[in-house]
Amino acid sequence: MMRLSILITLFVGLLAGAARATDDASQFEVSYWLGPPEKFTTLERYREIKDAGFTIAFPPLHTPSVELNRKILDLCQQTGLKAMIFDARMVTSLDAPDARAKLAGIVKDYGDHPALYGYFIVDEPSADAFTKLAEVVAYLKEIDAKHAGYINLFPSYAAPGQQLGAATFEEYVTRYVETVRPRVISYDHYPFVVGSDRADYAQNLAIVRNASLRAKIPFWQIAQIVQHLDYRHLTAGELRFQAMQTLAFGGKGLLWYTYWYPGEPNATIKHAMINYDGSHDPHYEMIKSINADAKAIGAELLRAESWAAYHLGDGAEFQLPPEVKSPVQIETNGRLTVGVFHHADGRKLALVANRDHHQPAIVSARGIDATFDPAVRQWTPATSPLAVDLAPGAAVLFRCSSP
């Protein structure tokens, strides 16, 4: 077990901090890696993205031209989406004489489009690159304060030296936040390999959560869909597990890898949401359902700050200190993550998520007075104790009765 200070940070009196941490966020964001390729960049396909519950369209696999980016922006505007744009002129350093001119050209071409969300800078940089990336992020803020630069980080299982450029993952994330000061902390972690689950999944979430709270910067996680390399074919429970664990640890956004089939046909790559030929994989409907629930729960938690994230049941990595009492008391036959939140309006909320992605769990909750129904986005009064059945990987949001 890691030392408690890394796993759980208990914050007292952070209601003002909760509001500060979400000033830039108007909704729980849901996106994906790899959008439709150019020949599928049509109104029908972007309606399909919207119908699956996404809020931001990310770039396709191959770097788009300016013309294609503008087409994507127009389609997003028509369908009520925002777009994260990647442009071949993007730089990762201001050292080159024309670096600022390239960034200015990108902002000139897209900055006034109503569907623009932000500018994709780079994926998975080493800590050695953070200082120069900070200059790029700062310059983009200077010339376009409304649209931030986006960077995605390595997961905790990346190699400390050649990939992270830091001795530990915690150091890597801390240096990133302190140096770059991004608008959002984004990282990917794919926990499901053939024959086992990665042991550091929750540890990764805990480290990013704590960094997010310290810096008052929201975090997003990129979750696994595609069967590739040694990553296995995923069930609906495994997909839902990733979304609900992210929410329980206080995530403010969720992305999926991948929406469209990644690359040319390859027998070892399967089960993106959309297949190479444009047909739906069964994962499309699974993710559509999960996105709907994640957006509804995420909207309730958007102006709330994580107070604690802890485990119950077998294999509990993170536990509350004996002297700390949770506002919700849970009895269960399963393995759970409990995320407790202080809302900016004074409420205390608890998201109870099943850590078992294959077996259901029975939850008996005390200290609650309402449950949230994500299907209709409404609270229903509840009498404590309340018994709830949780499907594999699923979660339930409670309102705590104590002030």
Q: Three-state secondary structure along 212-259?
A: HHHHCCCEEEEEECCEECCECCCCHHHHHHHHHHHHHCCCCEEEEECC
- Is 394 a residue whose pLDDT tops 50? yes
pLDDT tens track for 210-231: 999 999 999 999 999 999 999 9
Q: Which of 155, 261, 249, 153 is nearest to 204 (CA)?
A: 155
Tokens of 296: 């509804």
Contact between 332 and 384 under an 8 Å Cβ cutoff? The reply is: no
Q: What is the mean pLDDT of residues 58-76?
A: 97
Tokens of 110: 């897209």
Tokens of 266: 């390859």
pLDDT tens track for 166-224: 999 999 999 999 999 999 999 999 999 999 999 999 999 999 999 999 999 999 999 99
What pLDDT, on the 0 to 100 scale, is given for residue 8?
A: 46
Q: 13 falls in which pLDDT band (50, 70, 90)?
A: very low
The residues, any chain, with a CB within 8 Å of residue 178's CB and separated by 6 or more, are: 215
Q: Cα(18)–Cα(343) distance, rounded to whole angstroms?
A: 7
Mean pLDDT over the full length of the chain: 94
Paired sense of beta strands 378-381 and 386-390, if any? unpaired
Tokens of 357: 């992605």
For tokens 């013309």, the residue is: 67
First and final C-alpha spacing in the chain: 32
Cα angle: 124, vertex 125, 126; to 5 degrees: 125
* DSSP symbol at 233: P
Beta bridge partners of 151: 122
Q: Cα(58)–Cα(291) distance, rounded to whole angstroms?
A: 16
What pLDDT, on the 0 to 100 scale, is given for residue 350?
A: 98
What is the rounded (10 degree) CA torsion for 65, 70, 76, 79?
-120
Kindly give the residue spans of alpha helices, DSSP state H, lying in 42-90: 43-51, 66-79
What pLDDT, on the 0 to 100 scale, is given for residue 17?
A: 35
Q: 26 falls in which pLDDT band (50, 70, 90)?
A: confident
What pLDDT, on the 0 to 100 scale, is given for residue 24?
A: 55
Q: Cα(3)–Cα(7) distance, rounded to whole angstroms?
A: 7
Q: 161 falls in which pLDDT band (50, 70, 90)?
A: confident
Contact between 53 and 29 under an 8 Å Cβ cutoff? The reply is: no
Contact between 164 and 154 under an 8 Å Cβ cutoff? The reply is: yes
Beta bridge partners of 386: 365
Q: Cα(206)–Cα(202) distance, rounded to whole angstroms?
A: 6
- Is 14 a residue whose pLDDT tops 90? no
Taking only Cα atoms into account, the Rg of the chain, rounded to an integer number of angstroms, comes to: 21
**CA distance readout (Å), 244 to 2, 108, 119, 227, 291:** 23, 39, 27, 20, 10
Paired sense of beta strands 348-354 and 304-312, if any? unpaired
pLDDT tens track for 112-132: 999 999 999 999 999 999 999
In the chain, the largest separation of any two C-alpha atoms, in whole Å, equals 66
Specify the long-range contacts of residues 159-166, CB closer than 8 Å, at least 24 apart.
Answer: 162/126, 163/124, 163/126, 164/126, 164/127, 165/126, 165/127, 165/128, 165/129, 166/127
- Is 319 a residue whose pLDDT tops 90? yes
Q: Cα(374)–Cα(150) distance, rounded to whole angstroms?
A: 29
